[in-house]
Amino acid sequence: MVLRLLIPLVLCGLGLAADLRLDALRSSLIGMRGKPQESSHLRGATPQLTAAKHQLRDWVESRLMSLAQTGDEGEFQRKLNSELRGSQLFCGEKAADQNPCPDWTLLGFLHEFRFRRSLGFLILQAAVGIEFGFDESAYLYSWSDEGWRRVWRTSRILTRKRHTDRRVSRRY
């Protein structure tokens, strides 16, 4: 009987933690909007951007426990993107009723997530706005007894017209 009561409380607590993570991410991203960068060569790649990228990744990973090994990653993707859209973290055509994209910087905005599977792995592509483009990260997850576990990541900066050569890969 106690276990039946405890499970819903734990699940509610997990939902609250995810909401707090989303609130913190939203606060970080909105705080970046409209601020001129001190050094134009950084294109917005500041410690605040790195912190926002980590908050975004941590928020997604806190939600991954709800995706079963054979779960529908497309539905999961739609759900997460809907939550981010509801928090007004996107700009442009897909969020026409929200925030227009500024011409010179996408700082403080996200690009929609993309999830897909390949060879038993789950791949997440996420992008955080910078000046004239996005800082895109890809994460690779494998299934274990504990659920999805990150095993690899990479980052690169994408401009609106071309790719740059900055790329970082790390294995976890």
- Ordered by start, the domain boundaries in the chain are 2-171
pLDDT at position 161, please?
46
pLDDT at position 153, please?
96
- Name the nearest CA neighbour of 84 among 54, 65, 60: 60
Q: How many CB atoms lie within 10 A of CB 71?
A: 13
pLDDT at position 111, please?
95
- Name the nearest CA neighbour of 120 among 73, 61, 62: 73
pLDDT at position 37, please?
62
pLDDT at position 12, please?
47
| Residue 17: HSE in the Cβ half-sphere, 13 Å Cα cutoff | 13
| Residue 88: HSE in the Cβ half-sphere, 13 Å Cα cutoff | 8
pLDDT at position 95, please?
45
The mean pLDDT values, 10 residues at a time, for the chain of 172 residues are 50 62 96 71 78 97 97 98 95 65 87 96 96 92 97 85 43 46
Q: What is the pTM of this model?
A: 0.78
| Residue labelled with tokens 């970046």 | 32
